[in-house]
Amino acid sequence: MPTTATSQLITSVPATGPATGPAAGPADRELPLLRLGRGADPQAERGVSCPGELPPQSDPALVRRAEEARARLGDRAFVLGHHYQRDEVIRFADVTGDSFKLARDAAAMPGAEYVIFCGVHFMAESADILTSDAQRVILPDLAAGCSMADMAGYDQVEECWETLGDLGIAETVVPVTYMNSSADIKAFTGRNGGTVCTSSNARRALTWALEQGTKILFLPDQHLGRNTAVLELGMSLDDCVVWDPRRPYGGNDPQALRRATMILWKGHCSVHGRFTAEGVTQVRRSIPGVNVIVHPECVHDVVLAADQIGSTEKIIATIERAPSGSAWAVGTELNLVQRLANDNPDKRIVFLDKTVCYCSTMNRIDLPHLVWAMESLADGRVVNQITVDPATAAQAKTALDQMLALP
Ligand code: 13P
Ligand code: SF4
């Protein structure tokens, strides 16, 4: 079973307030929540089996409370929603987007006292870095992390950089980190002359990086790095090596590191990594003429087998522009695919592979958590604030600003 049957699990948990922030108030006692560090949630482990269904809807009676809290907050709050969020949450978003658009939108709202981020932790960290000191970024559930971002630890990355230095190649290497990384990895990237990228600007980021140096250390998603280098920049698979942080020299021959143009961190998305080329073959068999569109976090074989590749924003735009009557198999997170199917009734839209799970961490943000966060803020209690320490934020901002300035 996947993770987020929060509303079922939480009722027996004493509502003793959030893991961080001030003491609990009335909203805490009334809302059934299991917040980070409170009680046990044995079903919230990563790597669980996936029935290919969305998590159950939260109590619809909470909608009215959410509307009231949102109205009380007014212009003091700005709610950002990533495309993978549940319908019950996304309906309260002032803007929706992929991670690039949301980073830009967060930076463009200097008037909002609270930026409520319905997404995952690395996105909220980036929003904190890009917003002013007076603004507070709130993540309604602190357990909304990203398993991919967790795959690149700061010490591991520093160790890799040191090894590349010992081999005499660090000065030719430009780090490029995917937005899906912690603030300290972004700071490492900024400090070493690199850039952040997202799935919608990875080609531009790699092109820029190869104008600054001759090699790229791409963190932490090997698949986005490989797919972009090979399919968009025309490199060969032999130009890429994978750096496994658990092995000496990342598991490579030092000569191979000297030869490679792309040093790809051994990280991946546990959701997109489950789509298979066999799944593409099967869907083509069952729906003749189907168009297959996948996110670039999918493995290289899947991307090769697909017709199109794109960020969540591009997937949405492509399907919205597609002719009526066309059929699409979509290889990305299930909430988005289901929403695309609902919003485009004139087209046939199916999930690429029924055995793939929704993103369990994205789905930690549910209506109870959003209501709790908004009611708390409206009552003057700041909960689940995400803050990046100033030194890390300054260096990470260099890399984020570089991304926002990419030609
Ligand atoms: P997008 O930048 O395409 O929204 O992707 C973010 C993400 O986490 C995909 O798994
Ligand atoms: Fe992270 Fe994958 Fe979830 Fe995106 S879909 S937030 S990369 S685990």
Whether the pLDDT of residue 342 is over 90: the answer is yes
Cβ(335) – ligand 2 distance below 6 Å: no
Are 344 and 259 within one domain? Answer: no
The domain that holds 14 is classified in CATH as 3.40.50.10800
Is 23 among the domain residues? Answer: yes
The predicted model scores a pTM of 0.87
Are 49 and 115 within one domain? Answer: yes
Cβ(271) – ligand 2 distance below 6 Å: yes
Is 69 among the domain residues? Answer: yes
Token look-up 């143009």 returns: 261
Cβ(311) – ligand 1 distance below 6 Å: yes
Range of the domain at 317: 272-351
Is 294 among the domain residues? Answer: yes
Is 136 among the domain residues? Answer: yes
Of ligand 1's listed atoms, the one at least distance from the Cα of 310 is 3
Is 403 among the domain residues? Answer: no
Whether the pLDDT of residue 134 is over 90: the answer is yes
Q: How far is the CA of 181 from the centre of ligand 2 (A)?
A: 11
Q: Residue 50 has what pLDDT?
A: 55
Q: Using CA positions, which residue lies closest to atom 1 of ligand 1?
A: 98
Q: How far is the CA of 269 from the centre of ligand 1 (A)?
A: 10
Is 217 among the domain residues? Answer: yes
362 with 85: CB under 8 angstroms? yes
At which of 323, 351, 379 does a domain end?
A: 351
Whether the pLDDT of residue 6 is over 70: the answer is no
3 state SS for the chain = CCCCCHHHHHHHCCCCCCCCCCCCCHHHHHCCCCCCCCCCCHHHCCCCCCCCCCCCCCCCCHHHHHHHHHHHHHHHEEEEEECCCCHHHHCCCCEEECHHHHHHHHHCCCCCCEEEEECCHHHHHHHHHHCCCCCEEECCCCCCCCHHHHCCCHHHHHHHHHHHHHCCCHHHEEEEEECCCCHHHHHHHHHCCCEEECCCCHHHHHHHHHHHCCEEEEECCHHHHHHHHHHHCCCCHHHEEEECCCCHHHHCCHHHHHHCCEEEECCCCCCHHHCCHHHHHHHHHHCCCCEEEECCCCCHHHHHHCCEECCHHHHHHHHHHCCCCCEEEEECCHHHHHHHHHHCCCCEEEECCCCCCCCCCHHHCCHHHHHHHHHHHHCCCCCCEECCCHHHHHHHHHHHHHHHCCC
Are 198 and 286 within one domain? Answer: no
At which of 267, 290, 309 does a domain end?
A: 267
Q: Residue 52 has what pLDDT?
A: 65
Are 321 and 378 within one domain? Answer: no
Ligand lying closest to the C-alpha of residue 360:
2
Q: Residue 60 has what pLDDT?
A: 85
Cβ(269) – ligand 1 distance below 6 Å: yes
Is 209 among the domain residues? Answer: yes
pLDDT-derived band at 394 (thresholds 50, 70, 90) equals very high
Q: Residues 268-287: what's their mean pLDDT?
A: 95
Are 175 and 236 within one domain? Answer: yes
Domain count, the chain: 3
Is 399 among the domain residues? Answer: no
Are 11 and 135 within one domain? Answer: yes
Are 196 and 65 within one domain? Answer: no
Cβ(269) – ligand 2 distance below 6 Å: yes
Are 336 and 385 within one domain? Answer: no
pLDDT-derived band at 357 (thresholds 50, 70, 90) equals confident
Q: Residues 45-58: what's their mean pLDDT?
A: 63
